[in-house]
Amino acid sequence: REALAVTARLCGPELERYGRCVAASPGSWHRDCHQLSLSVTNCASNHPLVRRIRRDCSDSFGAFERCLRERPRDAAECGPQVTKFLLCAQSVTQSATPGDSPGDTSPGESAAG
């Protein structure tokens, strides 16, 4: 969730428009929403952390995108791929130098794993 949270925080408006477009055109979103997808990508690629996630998690993200292409009407079927990508993105986010968002640690979470 972290990677999407980061992207959503930085590129919220773009992501929201893209999400609405996909929801509105379940059968043809890959065509209809291509431009919006690009604007999300452009926004995300301007942020080092998101760039790093894209680089380090390109395998799992690619698998997710492939799944979406193969099942345009059954995006829910791609849950495992999404999970794998998000786990990867989360580890990238956690290994990134802290301080991007000061005071972002939730109370009740101990540093020790």
Query: Please, what sign has the CA dihedral across residues 33, 39, 45, 51?
Result: negative
Q: Are residues 56 and 88 in the same domain?
A: yes
Domain that holds residue 75: 48-94
Q: Are residues 66 and 42 in the same domain?
A: no
Residue 90 lies in a domain: yes
Digit-coded pLDDT (tens) for 51-75 = 788 788 889 888 888 888 888 777 7
111 confidence band (pLDDT: 50, 70, 90): low
10 token code pair: 């930085």
Q: Is pTM, for the whole model, over 0.95?
A: no
Helix axis angle for 79-95 and 58-70, nearest 10°, is 160
Give the CA radius of gyration of the chain.
15
Q: What is the mean predicted confidence (pLDDT) over 82-106?
A: 68
105 confidence band (pLDDT: 50, 70, 90): very low
CA distance 2 to 52: 13
Quote the pLDDT of residue 31: 86
Look at residue 90 and tell me whether its pLDDT is greater than 60: yes
Residue 112 lies in a domain: no
Q: Which of the pair, 96 or 87, is modelled with greater confidence?
A: 87
In three-state secondary structure terms, 13 is helix
16-55 as b/e, with b when 16 or more CB fall inside 10 Å? Answer: eebeebbeeeeeebeeebeebeebbbebbeebebbebbbe
Q: Are residues 62 and 76 in the same domain?
A: yes
